[in-house]
Amino acid sequence: MFDFVNRKKRIVQIVLFLAVLPFMFWGVQSYRSDGSEGYVAIVDGDEIKRREFEQALRDHQSRIRAMFGGNFDSAMLDSYEIKDSVLERLIQQRLLFREAVSNGFTVLDSHLINEIKQISDFQVDNNFSKKQYETLLRNNGLNPLDFEAGKRQELLLEQLLDGYSENNFVSSSAVGKFLYLSEVQREISQKKIQSEDFLAEIEPTEDQIVAYYNDHQADFYLPERVRVEYIVLSFDALADNEVLSEEAVLNYYQTHQQEFGQAEERKASHILISVSAAAAEEEKKQALEKAEDMLEQVRQEPERFAALAEEYSDDPGSASQGGDMGFFGRGGIRDKAFEEAIFDMQPGEIRGPVETDFGYHIIQLTEIKEATTADLDKVRNQIEKNLKMEMVGSIFGEAVEDFGNTVYEQNDSLQPAADKFELTVQQSEWITRNSAEPAILQNPELLAAIFSDDAILKKHNTNSIEVAPNTFISARILEHRPETSQSLSIVSGEIVERLKKQLAVEKALKRGEEILAELVSGEADTIEWGESKRVSYMQSQDLNPGTIREIFKTDVSTLPAYVGIADPQGGYSLIRISKIVEPEAVAEDNRTNFNRQLQQMMAQEETAAYLNGLRQRYEVVVKRDSY
């Protein structure tokens, strides 16, 4: 009964979750190198920094991993859909915050303090602990001012959305009707009258053919079209023409070894005993003693490293994975002491405590992927391509300018430019302003030049036009045909086919309506109906929504009842309603739950409409090529 509602439940809570600032635990990614600076979007003048986006993306990916474990394709985490959804969350957060501020919402200090005190992570024995609060924030790279500002923003946004999530009302009567309509069933049988069954008996008359031709002249026009010849100057084309020596190839191979192999990578696990670099000496001493104790345990029982990491490591990003940090090469770890220790170890070795800004680490090296170098024969093609690109890179700009001058100055032929740059003159089939092939000619600026008076009347070359990055084309018309109307004799066969289909649909519709009228009037039912089935709004049995609506609109005070529906694909569907199946009584708990979920559905629709309205009111610029 509640399947369709369950798919939408807790919508408002999800919207709130997407809108608020999450409490971030940095995990093992804190040791990775920073991304580049810049922004990914601007919301009403406020930049969303790339660093903020990347952190939000990592948080989202971590939540997905925790939710599904290994039961999903990890490649999905790097999809544009995931990235877009994370960026949209950040944009919504900015929009909602601006709206809350502009509408005068505020969060009292007393309210903020009370909310923070209720966070279980900051409690000891069910009571708020200031020491626990400060330690936890410090261990995760946060300070109280930043965290409290984020929490205040979260509460501000909750206030803004409370009106949508808390104040929806659905009457008991409406709930009852909704439940009844969702569950009541009608037992039906169908008979389809197919338009194809009438095709053989239809033969359009000459008058019908002429009339159709006259009424649809625009359908039979041949658009203006041309055949052209063209030459393509591209970076790749020039590079292909370059000649390389074996000495140059060998020298490149020897001096670029790092390009043709895989650098050494190491896989390690660690246990972090967290302590801030700014902590008091006594606190550091206690952390060091704890790390030394942990080192002794794992050396005595190395097979328990993963279990101990999961239980005691202060790095939540890797602790849940038994301390596993995966494979990484040199430069992949931010802290040099941590990295140097790992690259100085042997597989299976356990070392520690290693001190970093995050605390003390117990490290176990689990695997080494040795550096590899590909054979020259396997990378020859890539080397030749690189060398040719280098050779052409220094002259391409000059070549483009020279190409443009040549096709302009000798504008009655493409051959001089083709000979000069060792290009092949290619020819197209007939093309129009809207042709899809060949794709390389479908540049709006190029097509405008091809269909210009200068190209058509004077048969001049077009200018050199860049149709893709580092790809330039000049074209010249070989043949031109203006827009023309095809004669009736040419298109009569097509018209006959169109008319036959159209008239067959009309016949099927007329025949269906005649049979329906006979059945409704009470004449004997002699139709060979299909197998009966029960349908409802919730179980449509593959019927389209329009057909379901017509079935439930039909008067069923007398059974059997009949309804006829024109098929969008042509034809007519007769339906016999033979039985009404009343729903079972709904338990009060289910009715209450259903009411609650209907309210949440209404909240979802209103919240979505509100967010869409915000998106329209504020200027949002997304820099999609930046992620």
Predicted confidence band at 4 (pLDDT cuts at 50, 70, 90)?
Answer: very low
For 350, phi then psi, to 5°, come to -115, 130
Local confidence band at 595 (pLDDT 50, 70, 90 cut-offs): confident
Q: Rg for the chain (alpha carbons), in Å?
A: 36
Spatial CB neighbours of 496, under 8 Å, sequence gap ≥ 6: 204, 209
* Angle, CA 607 vertex, CA 161 and CA 81 arms, to 5°: 110
Size (the chain), residues: 627
Which H helix or E strand runs over 226?
A: strand 225-234
Instruction: For the beta carbon of residue 252, count every other beta carbon within 10 angstroms.
Output: 20
> What per-residue confidence (pLDDT) applies to 424?
92
Banded pLDDT at 531 (limits 50, 70, 90): very high
Nearest to 552 by CA among 565, 567, 570: 565
Q: Is the pLDDT of residue 255 over 60?
A: yes
Banded model confidence at residue 58, pLDDT cuts 50, 70, 90: confident
Cα 125 to Cα 23, 120, 140, 251, 314, distances in angstroms:
22, 10, 22, 70, 20
Mean pLDDT of 447-452: 93
Residue 31 in this model has a pLDDT that exceeds 60: no
Amino acid identity for residue 401 in this structure: E
Cα 599 to Cα 178, 211, 352, 588: the distances in Å are 13, 57, 57, 17
- Residue 492, H or E segment: helix 488-520
CA distance 582 to 182: 11
DSSP class of residue 344? T
Q: How far is CA 168 from CA 4, 103, 172, 201, in A?
A: 19, 21, 13, 60
Q: Count of CB atoms within 10 A of residue 444's CB?
A: 10
**Confidence (pLDDT) at 26:** 29
Split at pLDDT 50, 70, 90, the class of 560 is: very high
> How many CB atoms sit inside 10 A of residue 412's CB?
11
Lowest mean pLDDT among 11-25, 204-218, 515-529: 11-25
DSSP state of 431: B
At 21, the pLDDT band (50, 70, 90 cuts) reads very low
What's the pTM? 0.43
* DSSP annotation string for 187-221: EEEEEEE-GGGGGGG----HHHHHHHHHHTGGGGE
DSSP, res 560: S
Q: Are 563 and 577 in contact (CB under 8 A)?
A: yes
Alpha carbon distance 386, 66 (integer Å): 43
Distance of CA 167 to the CA centre of its chain: 33
> Is the model's pLDDT at 399 over the cut of 80?
yes
Three-class secondary structure of residue 268 per DSSP: strand
Look at 456 and 331; give whichever has higher pLDDT. Answer: 456
**Between 615 and 560, residue with greater pLDDT:** 560
Q: Is the pLDDT of residue 15 over 50?
A: no
Query: Residue 452 and residue 432: Cα distance in Å, rounded?
Result: 13
Percent of the chain residues topping a pLDDT of 70: 87
On the question of pLDDT at 22 being above 90, the answer is no
Identify the DSSP state of 264: -
Phi/psi at 563 (5° precision): -145, 145
Report the distance separating Cα 246 and Cα 248, nearest Å: 5
By the 8 A CB rule, do 526 and 518 touch? no
**pLDDT at residue 501, rounded to an integer:** 92
More confident residue, 241 or 610: 610
Instruction: Give yes or no for a cis peptide into 444 (omega within 30° of 0).
Output: no
pLDDT, position 34? 39
| CA 178 centroid distance within chain | 34
Average pLDDT over residues 483-496: 89
The whole-angstrom separation of Cα 336 and Cα 261 is 24
State whether residue 107 is helix, strand or coil: coil
Average pLDDT, the chain: 82
DSSP structure string for 17-66: HHHSPP----GGGGGSPP----EEEEETTEEEEHHHHHHHHHHHHHHHHH
pLDDT at 500 over 80: yes
More confident position, 223 or 75 = 223
Check if the beta carbon of residue 560 is closer than 8 Å to that of residue 520: no
| Confidence (pLDDT) at 336 | 84
Q: Residue range 270-284: average pLDDT? A: 87
Is residue 189 a contact partner of residue 531, using CB atoms and an 8 Å limit?
Answer: yes
Does 237 have pLDDT greater than 90?
A: no
| Structure tokens given for 567 | 């098929």
More confident residue, 580 or 591: 580
Mean pLDDT is highest, among 85-89, 127-131, 413-417, for 413-417
Pair of tokens at residue 330: 């040199």
Both tokens assigned to 558: 């007398």
The mean pLDDT value for 347-372 works out to 89
Confidence of residue 602 (pLDDT cuts 50, 70, 90): confident
Amino acid at site 129: S
Identify the band that residue 20 occupies on the pLDDT scale cut at 50, 70 and 90.
very low
What is the rounded average pLDDT of the residues 317-330?
Answer: 85
Residue with the bigger pLDDT between 182 and 366: it is 366
* pLDDT of 115 higher than 70: yes
Residue 340 has pLDDT above 80, yes or no: yes
pLDDT band for position 18 (cuts 50, 70, 90)? very low
Quote the percentage of the chain above a pLDDT of 90.
Answer: 32
CA nearest neighbour of 471 among 231, 274, 271, 292: 231
Q: Phi and psi of 471, rounded to 5°?
A: -135, 120
What is the token pair recorded at 273? 């005993």
pLDDT of 13 > 70? The answer is no
Per-residue model confidence (pLDDT) at position 72: 55
